[in-house]
Amino acid sequence: MARAPKSKSKARSATEPATAGKQELGTGSKAAAVIALLKNKRGVTIPEMMEVTGWQSHSVRGFLAGSLRKHHGLEVTSEKRSGEERRYRLR
């Protein structure tokens, strides 16, 4: 007996919420830890975020630009004072 091929379409049904597919930030997640650091008034550097998460620098930058800005709509600002590393924080 031949089996009918499965559909590869991932179309959302009319009853499925528009937010389906968006990842929620868990309280014990690495993402939540980075957000907590970004909420600090002083801000946080990329090396500090790398230490907390275990991620590489390009992963931290990708998380800031991709996940936080595009997917969750959070605005991240950065500031560099002379003689210091660039610091990031949430607006």
pLDDT digits (tens, 9 = 90+) for 13-42: 555 444 444 455 666 789 999 999 999 999
Q: What is the pLDDT of residue 88?
A: 95
Spatial contact of 42 and 87, defined as CB atoms under 8 Å apart: yes
User: Is this prediction's pTM over 0.95?
Assistant: no
Q: What is the pLDDT of residue 72?
A: 83
Please state, in angstroms and rounded to a whole number, the distance separating the CA atoms of residues 60 and 49.
7
Report the CATH architecture of 30-90: Orthogonal Bundle (1.10)
- Secondary structure class of 72 (helix, strand, coil): coil
Instruction: With a cut of 70, say whether residue 10 has pLDDT above it.
Output: no
Q: What is the mean pLDDT of residues 41-70?
A: 93
Tokens of 32: 């939540």
Please state, in angstroms and rounded to a whole number, the distance separating the CA atoms of residues 39 and 23.
20
What percent of the chain stands above pLDDT 90?
Answer: 53
